[in-house]
Structure 1
């Protein structure tokens, strides 16, 4: 009886599928030509966020497809100002990347009002500051990248991000003391935090430059 029931069940499924297939093949199919203006005629880049287990797990490291310089810039910007160009914090740090007036002067910017109202200038200054910090820390980058300090594998991007927070001199002290000498800003961010938070970005496209100016 079990074999007969199984046979009849399979027979019913075959009949249904056959009937369904006939209905599909008997339908009239109309082909429509795609307009020329809507056709893709060259390679097109599209960026999508990495898939995470839930929307809550997205952060500034996963919004961008690649862990390259663009992702590095935007991650720092989000941490510093949530990506807003016109921000001045309670300590007087300016813009999307929160530069101090003294650092801006070193890079050739003397008009802070103009700086706040010029997004292109802010982006250029950030890139110049990365070049400058890479030059100052070039020996430490060569020496410490790949080593572990306070449980974090040191990367070039982590070193440069920490220099943005604390200055290259304090980062040298942190690295050369193997994490025993740290620095904390007024909001509690430390070199150790930045080294870990911004670890693993590829910023090799930015070359080290001695004393760059805008």
Structure 2
């Protein structure tokens, strides 16, 4: 009982001391200590409109997204990135040229006889890609009809996968792969196979490419 009374008295005294301290501290505050009078304050503050401009893109500024989805542009850019990292001016250790890594013999088939000029000309390289894809699509038209939608080596065959594999290995090797149901699986000098390209570039929209037996880039 005595302990309870003592605790109650101690709490009461503590509360009174704190209450007194709060009132006395309010009375003792000297705002003059916080005055900026006599100080050199050299700064500027931008207005709200300026800050808004920094946070919000202007209407005439076009945003760029690296994601191109399964469009034809997405197809060719994904293929180019795998081939060369998208570099128009590179030549690999086997002598393949440019963004899409064309061989000299393939360039001749689509009307390009000056590899040095080809390497310096990004516009021509883009035309070459379209022409080569159109030619390959014509050569592989029956295989596209017969195999798209089926599975070979566990990989769903699509038109874009066929065209990508033809870019890697040539249309003849793609025919062999499909007609052997994956037993004849061409591998390039870096160890990349037809089946790998079939899978990696599956499902893109390549309807833009029209089959053309005599397709030329120039």
Q: 2:157, 2:63 → 1: CA distance?
A: 31
Kept after mapping to 2: 8 A contact 1:47/1:65:
no
What is the CA–CA distance in structure 2 between the aligned matches of 1:65 and 1:119, rounded to whole Å?
A: 20
Is 1:92 the equivalent of 2:119?
Answer: no
Consecutive unaligned residues of structure 2, counting only runs of 5 or more, are: 1-48, 50-56
In the TM superposition, 1:161-176 aligns within 5 A as 161-176=164-179
Once superposed, what is the RMSD of the aligned Cα atoms?
2.2
Partner in structure 2 of residue 199 of structure 1: 202
Give the TM-score, by structure 1 length: 0.72
Closer, same or farther: CA 155–47 of 1 in aligned 2, 3 Å: farther
- Which of 146, 149, 173 is the matching residue for 1:146? 149
2:122 to 94, 112, 119: 119
Which one has the largest radius of gyration? 2
Task: List aligned pairs for 1:32-111, cutoff 5 A.
Answer: 48=65, 63-111=66-114
Q: Secondary structure at the match of 1:71?
A: helix
Aligned positions of 1:149-160 closer than 5 A: 149-160=152-163
TM-score scaled by length of structure 2: 0.71
Residues 45 and 150 of structure 1, relative CA distance in 2, 3 Å threshold: farther
Tell me the distance in 1 between the aligned counterparts of 2:62 and 2:158.
Answer: 28
Task: Name the counterpart of 2:23.
Answer: none
Deviation at 1:47, TM superposition (A): 5.2
Give the superposition deviation at 1:64: 2.1
When residues 91 and 39 of structure 1 are mapped into structure 2, their CA distance, relative to the original with a 3 A threshold, is closer
> Using the alignment, how far apart are the partners of 1:82 and 1:46 within structure 2?
22
Question: Distance in 2 between the 1:139 and 1:178 partners?
Answer: 15
With over 3 angstroms needed to count, the CA separation of the structure-2 counterparts of 1:137 and 1:45, relative to structure 1, is farther
Distance 1:45 1:149 in 2: 42
* Partner in structure 2 of residue 4 of structure 1: none
Q: Does 1:183 align with 2:183?
A: no
Per-residue deviation, 1:65: 3.1
For residues 45 and 199 of structure 1, do their structure 2 counterparts lie closer, same or farther at Cα, with a shift above 3 Å needed? farther
